[in-house]
Amino acid sequence: MLQGKTIAVTGATNGIGEVAARELARSGAEVIIISRSESKCAATAAKIKSETGSQLVSYIAADLSTLDGMRYAADTIRERFPKLHVLLNNAGGLFTKRQVTADGYEMTFALNHLSYFVVTNALLDLLKATAASDGEARVVNVSSGAHYSARGVNFDDLLRKQGYNAFGVYSETKLMNILFTNELARRLEGTGVTANSLHPGFVRTGFGMNNGGWFVRLFGIVSQFAAISPEEGAQTSIYLASSPEVRGVTGQYFTNKQIKTPSAAARDSYLQEKLWRVSEELTAARVV
């Protein structure tokens, strides 16, 4: 059981994020759901309270595609909560057309990678303090098996001005999730804070439905026959956030609650360090 634990989940108003938040609340954790829409956050928090009987569910409405939104989410957690035992970075998206955020970054890169980087780094002091007082804290990053399709990181064109392929960009950001996780794990050695990434599976959710048109039709057809349910897809996230079996385990990539070897690119220590350095320069984040 998770009584006395505080867990923040980004992208928690639908799909596997909502399921993870609900089940972690059901297990006794105090859960903070983070998503862009105030109304969806409020509705999801109320729904989780009703379904679990737990009143320890709160929310922060923040646009995690913007640096201001990322920092607001982290600042609010630090202001409201004395401890943070788990940060579950789950927010993400796939966009068929290139979009640019308010900060001038390509949307997929900002939401799928920079939000993990900025929010996590802004909360590291709180996570470390929690680990020091309570024995451990965890960062769990939702990646994807799509990362195997990415051969590396195109540092020369992170904003994708020279060409945009939706799945290619998505795959690259999912590779970034693992690169970031592994570099974070290395930097956190000895602090009691662990960092692991995961592939949730091909999940039947509202993911990508913002694109409309042909993507929705195709994704809907494929999902009907091949996808697993959000309840199934959330299991590895829940496991990494809560199971005593992974206490002390860090810098690993999981599928179906099992450690799996990620791509060679994901294991490249040079890419891990370079992505960290570039992300730091782009966001001016306070980092370990």
Active site residue ranges: 170
Cα angle value 58/20/267 (rounded, 5°): 120
- For residue 98, count other CB atoms closer than 10 A to its CB: 16
- Give how far Cα 5 sits from Cα of 30, 60, 264, Å: 6, 18, 35
Q: How far apart are CA 23 and CA 20, in angstroms?
A: 5
Q: How far apart are CA 208 and CA 199, in angstroms?
A: 17
The distance in angstroms from the start CA to the end CA of the chain is: 31
Is residue 285 classed exposed, middle or buried when 0-12, 13-18 and 19+ CB atoms within 10 A define those classes?
Answer: buried
Structure token pair of residue 191: 């602090």
Q: Are 232 and 203 in contact (CB under 8 A)?
A: yes
H or E segment and range at residue 33: strand 30-35
Q: How far apart are CA 7 and CA 270, in angstroms?
A: 31
Q: How far apart are CA 280 and CA 191, in angstroms?
A: 21
Cα angle value 68/196/45 (rounded, 5°): 55
Pick the closest to residue 137 from 276, 4, 283 (CA basis).
Answer: 4
- Return the bridge partners of 89, or none: 141
Helices (H) and strands (E) in the chain, counts: 10, 8
Residue given tokens 């990678």 in the structure block: 113
